Structure 1
């Protein structure tokens, strides 16, 4: 049985090349950092919240979250963040069974994200539950069993698997679709143009 309120880890380890570098989650939308908006969406849905990021953790100090770094060197992608999340949850909570991951640049995550992923995972007897919208899968917005952490470690260190979908394809997976009206709840700000669009959405999402 999965936790009613799992641990959640926000993935902020990307290089933000399309944003000109730096930390995307610290970019402001309507006067507030993207990360603050992600935290606001996730906190009521989880029992503990942490941030996966590399480099100096002090830059995230104002948010008051534990910052966990990748254990795999060289920015190998989001699966390294997922592994760090699973390891952190296992170390912090002996009874943790699932971890939610979500990127730090998705400011409009749905309020029923955990509930629907958890429900689908149990109903379909799946290992992993993944969010989707508009016919597109969002593989890093997912509910993961802590029990998969050793298998994920092997996939990263021995099998050289880097793509999230290549790893999740090994396991039964539930896909949960959300509507994209009035806006896609999984909209992410990858470019300056996306930030401008996020400002427009935020203005109507009060």
Structure 2
């Protein structure tokens, strides 16, 4: 649990430096665009910009610090070697953050919000360094597995013999006769129609069976 908490705090520093890297590159670009709009001299503005110095001075250290802190958090969470080295490299890469604020003489007596934020972040980073170094010394705790208790010996159980069943006379099998089917109710109209069909069928049958006589004279 402690290892995961420290890895999460280091990841917070990594996210902050990644956001700072994006802001450090974007902010000078925004200010440069504003100067172009105000002075209406785009060509002179392009010639005056040193893009290499802009990328190295503003974005590269913070991006490198973010990557180092991410690697340190991954190493610590995965219980791998190298977490302390990556963290120290991240501190070295993020050290230019101190120069973002000008500390006046006796600033610790009445610090400004910017001075307090930078100083607090630096002190927190140093405390995290001590915690990371202490994690390096800790050895994984091995929890002994509890041996299963021996099962109690099974006691023999006396089983009484089953009583003999007396033969009973076979019961006579009585078969029930099927009941006569009950007449179904047929409406009068359907009954008349059925009778008409039956009479018509009989007439057709009689007509087919009638002998045919042929008169020659």
Using structure 2 for the length normalisation, give the TM-score. 0.23
User: What TM-score results when the alignment is normalised by the length of structure 1?
Assistant: 0.24
Greater relative contact order (CA < 8 Å, ≥ 6 in sequence): 1
Larger Rg: 2
Query: Which of the pair is proportionally richer in strand?
Result: 1
More helix by share: 2
